[in-house]
Amino acid sequence: MCGETQTADWSPEIVPGQDIGIRLKAFLRWINNYRHLPYQKQQELLWELGQIEIGVGTLVARNKGIDGTVAQSVDSLKQWIK
């Protein structure tokens, strides 16, 4: 109706408040931490793979954001191993 705000549900692949899907975040984390690919090279790779344009600051922030998300699980695993 006129004057009403129309919205749509987020795709389950998108993390609310971010425009980077969960799979892309996992891929970026993998190439950063396991393949040791610098952020500038990650930018180039994303552009070459799908013309995805992401700033270095966004890549850094997403990587740090994942650290906080998994910290509790990592701590629990450390305690279990002891």
Residue 42 banded pLDDT, cuts 50, 70, 90:
very high
Cβ atoms of 17 and 61 within 8 Å: the answer is no
Residue 39 banded pLDDT, cuts 50, 70, 90:
very high
Tokens of 52: 């995805």
Is the confidence at residue 15, as pLDDT, over 90? no
> CB burial class (10 A; 0-12, 13-18, 19+) of residue 19?
exposed
Averaged pLDDT for residues 43-60: 88
pLDDT digits (tens, 9 = 90+) for 53-80: 888 888 888 777 776 766 777 788 888 9
